[in-house]
Chain A
Amino acid sequence: MHPLLRTVLQRLGLGLITLFVVSLIIFSAIEFLPGDFAKAILGQSATPETVEAFQKEIGLDKPAHERYLNWIGGVLQGDFGSSFSSRVGFRRSVMEIIGPRLLNTLFLAGITALVAIPLALGLGLLAALYRNSIFDRAVNAVTLTTISFPEFFVAYILMLFLAVKFPIFHSLSNVSADMPFFEKLQRTALPVLTLTLVIVAHMMRMTRAAIISLLASPYIEMARLKGVSPGQIILRHALPNAWAPIANVIAFNLAYLVVGAVVVEVVFVYPGIGQAMVDAVRSRDIPVVQACALIFAVTYILLNLLADVISIATNPRLLHPR
């Protein structure tokens, strides 16, 4: 078997075990949430009869292990269950609620990645190439500044200048599925910009550090002696060996874009999955919370797997171990 394939299968297997443990943790954590779900959902209008009718309807009268098995059994068949906001004769599946939100989040994360990753790599490479120059210092200072501010602060500053003072973009990013692509792009401009500013520093500095550490190795010295231009040295000799740490950082940041953008979502009223989860926790829509948590776990596991595969594939020593 190809060593890469074996690694992938091995990692996928481990990922499944991790997911199982995560599902157990999610389920038990939710059991510890204070208060009675039925009462929390019905709010002030809860009377003993309505609470009882509700508990029966959503199966809360069954013991915890039975509910867990029901849930995990459904998930294995691709069914995340139905939201607590379902009614008799009107089922709202969890996927129906999460689906559009997940697509929105992936859209935001995708656009941000398209902007941020090339930007970070480019800046990182240039900073490595002209290290300790004014350019290097300026890039470092700016990116470190933007990463040091809390997201909402960056968001509000951008909003103040780009939406209020100079109304170029919208302060409200309430995109919907049937919006034309370019309008969607314009609506998401500010969240994309905010997230880009927040994640670029990490990736850019890792690229710079990885390349600089390689620039001291003998084979780079050799290339330099043979007369290769500095740009070519970095692109052809240093970068291929630096992919492993860079890929790891990129994977980490991509995962963050999917699961951690909730603050930005709230500030710009972007209908992403993070808001859906916070919403669901507040209204105690447990099946939605569980599904979101699982999706987040899968995101991390898959992206980490991808990073590992990239680092193995780009490193002959790992690809052909002896």
Chain B
Amino acid sequence: MSELEQKLKQATSLAGKGKVSRRDFIQLAMLAGFTAAAGNAMFVKAVRAEPKKGGSARFGLAHGATTDTLDPVGYPDTFTQCAFWGALSNSLTEVDAKGNVVPDLAESYEPSDGAKKWAFKLRKGATFHDGKTVTPDDVVASFRHHMGADSKSAAKSLLDPIADIKADGPETVIFTLKDGSADFPYLVSDYHIPIMPVKDGKSDWQSGVRTGPFVLEKFEPGVSAKFKRNPNYFKSNQPYLDEVEFIAITDVAARTNALTTGDVDWIGRADLKTLELLKRNPNVEILELSGYGHYVLPMNTTMAPFDNNDVRTAIKYAINREEIQKKIFLDHATVANDNPIAKAVKYSIDPEPKYKYDPDKAKFHLKKAGYETLKVDLSVADAAFAGAVDAGVLIKETAAKCGIDINVVREAEDAYWDNVWLKKPWCASYWSGRPTCDWAFSIAYAKDAAWNETYWKNPRFNELLIQARAELDDAKRAAMYGEMQQLVHDDGGTIVLVFNNFVTANSKKLAHGDVAPNWENDGLKIAERWWLA
């Protein structure tokens, strides 16, 4: 690096802090061989890149219903998740933009006894919005809120591995697990488990008093939620905004209009069909991120003909994923290779062979399974994912050339999860993804998982799942998870079509750092992490 380049780099970082004037910066850039216009653009970018405090922002979310409550046993969609977890609350840990788990309300955590015991030390001086210090009792009650026989929490099965939680002194909580789990810190980053104050031995979720970057001002279910900055937040630099409002705009056209007319500064789930038009708007930035979420077509591996792995492999080769990605998801998705673990997740591998559309290989495997031609039903509805029906029809076309006759059954969207999913031998489904291999596998691929969509019971896989969970050696874990992903790829009944991209659009008034892909909307923490440019 030449001296000039180095100077320019320094100036860039100083510009972000407001310590270099535009004129000086551009002069330096021109010395380094840039044009004045390029220098100016670099200056604007540098100034935007450094977080600034103050201002207010309105976020238009694609969800929100009158049934929404502050109770974290629910939090069914991005409205409650972004507003009541991301803005209002904290979990013990959080997942950063690189996919690593980092302490949040906990200051540190330490495993012992083969990752069976986890001691979480709480952050000193962290308080609830009413000024009360966060104690281990609050943490215990917040977890117990989801556990117990009559709990109907969505996080109940997630917390199943916990045998016991107890407070240990004024700032430590000890979790005892049924089996060792090296990924336990990831688990407690879940948005269902915000830490809430304890009142009469129970978690007080009604009051909305939490620890997060924002204090709840007003909440109208299905309409909006308004927050103002928490002046005593334990992260001194965050949040940047003074006020945030989340507005429920379920209609996608209304959402786009609200952004273009400036009634909101950001919208979630932008309309893919009109995205090219929105891109032309000079005041709008489109953000596209490949996350952990994926669309799948699970086959029931206990039912004929899907109980034969050659049939499953034949079908895997009979699908033209590139075409589906292009025509149905309009390039806003990443082609997947029947490995449900996204690239951004730790220990993820890219298994071979690639399932590319290949009629010869499909026919070969079909013959090996003892079929000349095959007739199967594929149950789809757009309730599974937008475009499921179209994808089904496209698959029918490509599979026909492989000797597989697919009857695409269009199911009712109402009660799809009730009557079709886990019941029909081959259907469409989706996963929002999980930040660790163990979590993703335990929830949908383990032999006794409630949502094992494919009823797949691979002995080697299930053996590895238990072993890897308690293994603390990184290299050994990587090898085990690699083998498991290969097994799912080779033998599993899940066709992973694509990883869906999160597409959001925002006014250029808003700025942000690296965006976390673990969940939508900057890991649901958009309110805490974004600022006004």
Contacts and interface: CB of A to CB of B under 8 A. Distances in A.
A189 B441 CA distance: 52
Interface stretch (A69-77, A142-150, A167-175, A309-317): A167-175
Contacts of B482: none
B488 interface: no
A85 B68 contact: yes
A295 to B, nearest CB: 15
Given A50-B152, A176-B220, A275-B222, A33 B414 contact: yes
A164 B224 contact: no
Interface residues on B, range: 35 or more
Contacts of A11: none
Nearest to A266: B251
Q: Interface residues of A: mostly helix, strand, loop or mixed?
A: helix
B254 interface: yes
Interface string A55-87: 001000000000000000000000000011101
A119 interface: no
Contacts of B65: 279, 282-283
Interface residues of A, number: 51
A42 B76 CA distance: 8
A44 B262 CA distance: 35
Contact of B69 (A42, A85, A271, A280): A85
Contact of B220 (A100, A269, A283): A100
Interface in A30-66: 33-36, 39-47, 49-51, 53-54, 57
B222 A267 contact: no
A45 B249 CA distance: 24
Contacts of B73: 87
A176 B224 contact: yes
A131 interface: no
A280 B415 CA distance: 15
Nearest to B251: A266
B258 A172 contact: yes
A50 B247 contact: no
A320 B194 CA distance: 71
A90 B206 contact: yes
Contacts of A176: 218, 220, 223-224
Given A44-B451, A174-B247, A97 B224 contact: no
Nearest to A35: B415
Contact of A267 (B67, B218, B221, B254): B254
A107 interface: no
Interface in A263-295: 266-269, 271, 275-276, 279-280, 282-283, 285, 288
A164 B247 CA distance: 20
A43 B419 CA distance: 12
B375 to A, nearest CB: 27
Contacts of A137: none
A87 B247 contact: no
A252 interface: no
A84 B74 CA distance: 12
A171 B254 contact: yes
Contacts of B261: 163-164, 167, 170-172
Q: Interface residues of B: mostly helix, strand, loop or mixed?
A: loop
B37 to A, nearest CB: 30
B67 A285 contact: yes
Interface in B57-80: 65-69, 71, 73-74, 76
B27 interface: no
A283 B254 CA distance: 21
B257 interface: yes
Contact of A43 (B76, B206, B249, B257): B76
Contacts of B251: 266-267, 269
B414 A267 contact: no
B247 A269 contact: yes
Interface string B298-320: 00000000000000000000000
Contact of A92 (B69, B152, B253): B69
B213 to A, nearest CB: 23
Chain B CB within 10 Å, residue with most, of A87, A97, A269: A269
A256 interface: no
A159 interface: yes
Given A50-B153, A163-B257, A266-B254, A174 B71 contact: no
Interface in B429-471: 450-451
Contacts of A40: 415, 417-418
B321 interface: no
B67 A83 contact: yes
A279 B206 CA distance: 22
B66 A280 contact: yes
A92 B65 CA distance: 14
A156 interface: yes
A121 to B, nearest CB: 33
B479 interface: no
A53 B152 contact: yes
Contacts of A170: 261, 263
A34 B413 CA distance: 10
A97 B262 CA distance: 29
Contacts of B68: 85
B154 interface: yes
A119 to B, nearest CB: 26
B156 A47 contact: yes
Nearest to B416: A35
Given A283-B65, A288-B66, A276 B417 contact: no
Contact of B223 (A36, A50, A171, A174): A174
Contacts of B206: 90
Nearest to B432: A44
B21 interface: no
B473 interface: no
Contacts of B414: 33-35
B150 A276 contact: no
Nearest to B148: A53
Given A156-B253, A176-B220, A266-B254, A39 B66 contact: no
A39 B223 contact: no
B56 interface: no
A38 to B, nearest CB: 9
Chain A CB within 10 Å, residue with most, of B154, B157, B223, B258: B223
10 contacts: A43-B76, A43-B417, A50-B153, A85-B67, A87-B69, A156-B253, A163-B257, A170-B261, A279-B66, A283-B65
Given A87-B71, A90-B69, A92-B69, 5 more contacts: A90-B206, A97-B66, A164-B257, A172-B264, A267-B253
